[in-house]
Protein backbone atom coordinates (compact mmCIF):
# COMPACT_ATOMS: atom_id res chain seq x y z
CA UNK A 1 0.00 0.00 0.00
CA UNK A 2 1.18 3.52 -0.78
CA UNK A 3 0.09 6.30 1.56
CA UNK A 4 0.39 9.95 0.55
CA UNK A 5 0.08 12.51 3.32
CA UNK A 6 -0.49 16.17 2.49
CA UNK A 7 0.42 18.50 5.33
CA UNK A 8 1.80 21.92 6.20
CA UNK A 9 3.89 20.18 8.87
CA UNK A 10 5.30 17.00 7.29
CA UNK A 11 8.10 16.95 9.88
CA UNK A 12 5.44 15.82 12.38
CA UNK A 13 5.58 12.36 10.79
CA UNK A 14 9.28 11.80 11.48
CA UNK A 15 8.21 10.26 14.79
CA UNK A 16 5.03 8.19 14.42
CA UNK A 17 6.13 5.96 11.54
CA UNK A 18 9.74 5.27 12.46
CA UNK A 19 9.46 2.62 15.14
CA UNK A 20 8.07 -0.83 15.82
CA UNK A 21 5.61 -2.58 13.49
CA UNK A 22 4.96 0.40 11.19
CA UNK A 23 8.70 0.87 10.58
CA UNK A 24 9.05 -2.86 9.86
CA UNK A 25 6.09 -2.74 7.45
CA UNK A 26 7.90 -0.05 5.46
CA UNK A 27 11.21 -1.94 5.48
CA UNK A 28 9.37 -5.01 4.18
CA UNK A 29 7.81 -2.83 1.41
CA UNK A 30 4.30 -3.67 2.64
CA UNK A 31 3.63 0.02 3.22
CA UNK A 32 5.22 3.06 1.62
CA UNK A 33 4.55 6.44 3.22
CA UNK A 34 5.16 9.67 1.32
CA UNK A 35 4.70 13.04 2.99
CA UNK A 36 4.14 16.10 0.81
CA UNK A 37 4.60 19.64 2.03
CA UNK A 38 1.62 21.73 0.92
CA UNK A 39 3.74 24.85 1.43
CA UNK A 40 5.94 23.88 -1.55
CA UNK A 41 3.00 24.76 -3.81
CA UNK A 42 2.65 28.32 -2.49
CA UNK A 43 3.74 30.81 -5.12
CA UNK A 44 4.38 34.01 -3.14
CA UNK A 45 7.57 35.03 -1.39
CA UNK A 46 6.20 34.18 2.05
CA UNK A 47 4.90 30.75 0.99
CA UNK A 48 1.43 31.71 2.20
CA UNK A 49 -0.98 28.79 2.59
CA UNK A 50 -3.61 30.34 4.85
CA UNK A 51 -5.76 33.45 4.84
CA UNK A 52 -8.38 35.14 7.01
CA UNK A 53 -11.90 33.73 6.73
CA UNK A 54 -14.45 35.40 4.47
CA UNK A 55 -17.08 36.95 6.71
CA UNK A 56 -14.58 37.55 9.50
CA UNK A 57 -13.94 35.63 12.66
CA UNK A 58 -10.99 34.27 14.58
CA UNK A 59 -8.05 32.35 13.13
CA UNK A 60 -6.89 31.50 9.65
CA UNK A 61 -8.19 29.14 7.00
CA UNK A 62 -6.04 26.93 4.77
CA UNK A 63 -6.27 28.12 1.17
CA UNK A 64 -7.66 25.85 -1.54
CA UNK A 65 -5.04 26.46 -4.27
CA UNK A 66 -1.89 24.98 -2.68
CA UNK A 67 -3.81 21.97 -1.35
CA UNK A 68 -5.44 21.19 -4.73
CA UNK A 69 -2.15 21.77 -6.54
CA UNK A 70 -0.12 19.47 -4.26
CA UNK A 71 -2.67 16.66 -4.30
CA UNK A 72 -3.13 16.90 -8.08
CA UNK A 73 0.65 16.76 -8.56
CA UNK A 74 1.06 13.44 -6.75
CA UNK A 75 -2.36 11.75 -6.84
CA UNK A 76 -2.36 8.29 -8.39
CA UNK A 77 -5.78 6.88 -7.40
CA UNK A 78 -7.63 5.68 -4.32
CA UNK A 79 -9.62 7.51 -1.65
CA UNK A 80 -8.65 11.07 -0.72
CA UNK A 81 -9.40 11.39 2.97
CA UNK A 82 -9.76 14.64 4.83
CA UNK A 83 -9.52 14.43 8.61
CA UNK A 84 -11.98 16.66 10.47
CA UNK A 85 -14.25 16.64 13.52
CA UNK A 86 -17.26 16.81 11.17
CA UNK A 87 -16.40 13.45 9.55
CA UNK A 88 -17.66 9.94 10.14
CA UNK A 89 -16.09 8.68 13.37
CA UNK A 90 -13.24 6.26 12.62
CA UNK A 91 -13.63 2.65 13.68
CA UNK A 92 -12.26 -0.83 12.98
CA UNK A 93 -14.69 -1.44 10.09
CA UNK A 94 -13.35 1.65 8.32
CA UNK A 95 -9.77 0.54 9.04
CA UNK A 96 -10.57 -2.85 7.47
CA UNK A 97 -12.12 -1.23 4.39
CA UNK A 98 -9.18 1.13 3.90
CA UNK A 99 -6.62 -1.64 4.40
CA UNK A 100 -7.81 -3.29 1.17
CA UNK A 101 -6.92 -0.20 -0.91
CA UNK A 102 -3.64 -0.05 -2.86
CA UNK A 103 -3.27 3.66 -2.32
CA UNK A 104 -4.61 6.18 0.20
CA UNK A 105 -4.25 9.95 0.38
CA UNK A 106 -4.71 11.94 3.58
CA UNK A 107 -5.10 15.71 3.77
CA UNK A 108 -4.31 17.33 7.12
CA UNK A 109 -6.15 20.50 8.05
CA UNK A 110 -4.70 23.09 10.42
CA UNK A 111 -5.54 26.45 12.03
CA UNK A 112 -9.34 27.05 11.92
CA UNK A 113 -9.68 24.44 9.19
CA UNK A 114 -9.64 24.41 5.40
CA UNK A 115 -11.50 26.19 2.61
CA UNK A 116 -14.74 24.22 2.22
CA UNK A 117 -14.02 23.61 -1.48
CA UNK A 118 -11.29 21.16 -0.43
CA UNK A 119 -13.89 19.10 1.40
CA UNK A 120 -16.53 19.44 -1.32
CA UNK A 121 -14.44 18.98 -4.45
CA UNK A 122 -11.16 17.25 -3.57
CA UNK A 123 -11.75 14.88 -0.65
CA UNK A 124 -13.68 11.70 -1.38
CA UNK A 125 -14.46 11.12 2.30
CA UNK A 126 -14.12 12.82 5.67
CA UNK A 127 -13.05 10.94 8.78
CA UNK A 128 -13.11 12.15 12.38
CA UNK A 129 -11.10 10.67 15.20
CA UNK A 130 -13.83 11.50 17.71
CA UNK A 131 -15.86 14.27 19.25
CA UNK A 132 -12.99 16.54 20.23
CA UNK A 133 -10.84 19.12 18.46
CA UNK A 134 -7.15 18.64 17.64
CA UNK A 135 -4.79 21.43 16.58
CA UNK A 136 -4.27 19.71 13.24
CA UNK A 137 -5.08 16.64 11.18
CA UNK A 138 -1.54 15.22 11.61
CA UNK A 139 -2.14 13.22 14.83
CA UNK A 140 -5.40 11.93 13.36
CA UNK A 141 -3.61 10.70 10.21
CA UNK A 142 -0.94 9.02 12.36
CA UNK A 143 -3.67 7.11 14.22
CA UNK A 144 -5.72 6.17 11.15
CA UNK A 145 -2.64 5.10 9.13
CA UNK A 146 -1.39 2.99 12.05
CA UNK A 147 -4.73 1.17 12.38
CA UNK A 148 -4.87 0.58 8.62
CA UNK A 149 -1.25 -0.50 8.07
CA UNK A 150 -1.34 -3.15 10.81
CA UNK A 151 -4.22 -4.84 8.94
CA UNK A 152 -2.26 -5.22 5.69
CA UNK A 153 -1.58 -8.95 5.25
CA UNK A 154 1.94 -9.77 6.42
CA UNK A 155 2.41 -6.71 8.62
CA UNK A 156 1.60 -8.47 11.88
CA UNK A 157 3.86 -11.45 12.45
CA UNK A 158 1.01 -13.89 12.94
CA UNK A 159 -1.84 -13.53 10.42
CA UNK A 160 -4.34 -14.41 13.15
CA UNK A 161 -3.16 -11.88 15.66
CA UNK A 162 -5.76 -9.27 14.68
CA UNK A 163 -8.68 -11.75 14.44
CA UNK A 164 -9.47 -11.91 18.19
CA UNK A 165 -8.81 -8.27 18.88
CA UNK A 166 -11.27 -5.82 20.32
CA UNK A 167 -13.69 -4.54 17.65
CA UNK A 168 -12.65 -7.06 14.97
CA UNK A 169 -15.15 -9.69 16.07
CA UNK A 170 -17.65 -7.17 17.45
CA UNK A 171 -16.58 -8.03 21.02
CA UNK A 172 -13.85 -6.65 23.26
CA UNK A 173 -10.78 -8.83 23.59
CA UNK A 174 -10.35 -11.12 26.62
CA UNK A 175 -7.76 -10.07 29.27
CA UNK A 176 -4.16 -11.06 28.58
CA UNK A 177 -1.53 -12.27 31.07
CA UNK A 178 2.12 -13.25 30.83
CA UNK A 179 4.86 -14.50 33.21
CA UNK A 180 5.13 -14.52 36.20
CA UNK A 181 2.09 -16.61 37.14
CA UNK A 182 1.86 -14.68 40.41
CA UNK A 183 2.84 -11.01 40.48
CA UNK A 184 2.73 -9.49 43.96
CA UNK A 185 -0.37 -11.22 45.35
CA UNK A 186 -2.17 -11.29 41.97
CA UNK A 187 -2.31 -14.68 40.28
CA UNK A 188 -2.96 -15.18 36.57
CA UNK A 189 -6.18 -17.18 35.94
CA UNK A 190 -5.59 -20.91 36.44
CA UNK A 191 -7.49 -21.70 33.22
CA UNK A 192 -4.74 -20.01 31.20
CA UNK A 193 -2.08 -22.14 32.88
CA UNK A 194 -4.06 -25.36 32.51
CA UNK A 195 -2.53 -26.36 29.17
CA UNK A 196 -6.01 -27.35 27.98
CA UNK A 197 -6.81 -25.67 24.68
CA UNK A 198 -10.56 -26.14 25.22
CA UNK A 199 -10.46 -24.69 28.72
CA UNK A 200 -8.40 -21.70 27.59
CA UNK A 201 -10.73 -21.10 24.62
CA UNK A 202 -13.82 -21.23 26.83
CA UNK A 203 -12.31 -18.96 29.48
CA UNK A 204 -11.34 -16.40 26.83
CA UNK A 205 -14.75 -16.51 25.17
CA UNK A 206 -16.49 -16.04 28.52
CA UNK A 207 -14.23 -13.13 29.46
CA UNK A 208 -14.70 -11.51 26.07
CA UNK A 209 -18.49 -11.69 26.37
CA UNK A 210 -18.41 -10.58 30.01
CA UNK A 211 -16.13 -7.63 29.37
CA UNK A 212 -18.18 -6.42 26.39
CA UNK A 213 -21.41 -6.74 28.36
CA UNK A 214 -19.99 -4.79 31.29
CA UNK A 215 -17.93 -2.15 29.51
CA UNK A 216 -19.67 -1.74 26.16
CA UNK A 217 -23.33 -2.80 26.38
CA UNK A 218 -23.93 -0.92 23.11
CA UNK A 219 -21.45 -3.19 21.30
CA UNK A 220 -22.89 -6.26 22.99
CA UNK A 221 -26.41 -5.49 21.73
CA UNK A 222 -25.17 -5.18 18.14
CA UNK A 223 -23.05 -8.33 18.44
CA UNK A 224 -26.04 -10.27 19.71
CA UNK A 225 -28.27 -9.11 16.86
CA UNK A 226 -25.66 -10.03 14.25
CA UNK A 227 -24.84 -13.38 15.84
CA UNK A 228 -28.35 -14.73 16.13
CA UNK A 229 -28.90 -17.66 16.57
CA UNK A 230 -26.10 -18.05 19.11
CA UNK A 231 -23.80 -21.05 19.17
CA UNK A 232 -24.45 -23.67 21.88
CA UNK A 233 -21.32 -22.57 23.71
CA UNK A 234 -22.22 -18.86 23.66
CA UNK A 235 -25.78 -19.66 24.78
CA UNK A 236 -24.36 -21.56 27.77
CA UNK A 237 -21.95 -18.77 28.66
CA UNK A 238 -24.67 -16.14 28.43
CA UNK A 239 -26.90 -18.23 30.68
CA UNK A 240 -24.07 -18.26 33.24
CA UNK A 241 -23.62 -14.50 32.93
CA UNK A 242 -27.36 -14.13 33.35
CA UNK A 243 -27.13 -16.12 36.59
CA UNK A 244 -24.43 -13.69 37.71
CA UNK A 245 -26.99 -10.94 37.16
CA UNK A 246 -25.10 -9.41 34.23
CA UNK A 247 -27.78 -9.83 31.60
Ligand X SMILES: C[S@@+](CC[C@H](N)C(=O)[O-])C[C@H]1O[C@@H](n2cnc3c(N)ncnc32)[C@H](O)[C@@H]1O
Which residues form the interface with ligand X (CB under 6 A)?
83-86, 108-110, 112-114, 128-130, 132-137, 140
Report the DSSP pairing between strands 125-128 and 50-51. Answer: unpaired
Q: Work out how close the CB of 116 gets to ligand X at its nearest, in angstroms, rounded to a whole number.
A: 11
Q: Closest distance between ligand X and the C-beta of residue 24, in Å?
A: 26
Cβ of residue 11: shortest distance to ligand X, in angstroms? 17
Comparison of 137 and 155: residue with beta carbon closer to ligand X: 137
CB of 114 or CB of 147, closer to ligand X: 114
Q: How far is the CB of 39 from ligand X (least distance, A)?
A: 16
b/e per residue, 18-29, with b = 16+ CB within 10 A?
eeeebeebbeee
Q: Is 177:189 a contact under the CB 8 Å cutoff?
A: yes
| Three-class DSSP category at 108 | coil
Nearer to ligand X by C-beta: 66 or 137? 137
Q: Where are the alpha helices (DSSP H) in the chain?
A: 20-27, 64-74, 92-99, 116-121, 138-149, 190-193, 197-215, 217-226, 232-243
Min separation Cβ 83 and ligand X, Å: 4
Calpha distance 87→123 (Å, rounded): 11
Nearer Cβ to ligand X (30/126): 126
Burial of 207 (0-12, 13-18, 19+ CB in 10 A): buried
Report the residue number whose CB is nearest to ligand X.
109
Amino acid sequence: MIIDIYSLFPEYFRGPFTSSIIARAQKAHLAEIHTHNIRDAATDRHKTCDDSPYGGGAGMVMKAEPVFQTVEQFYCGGPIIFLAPQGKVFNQKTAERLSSENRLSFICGHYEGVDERIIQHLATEVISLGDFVLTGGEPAVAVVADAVIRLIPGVLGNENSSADESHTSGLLEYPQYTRPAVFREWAAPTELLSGSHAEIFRWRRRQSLRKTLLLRPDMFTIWRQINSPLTKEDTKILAELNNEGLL
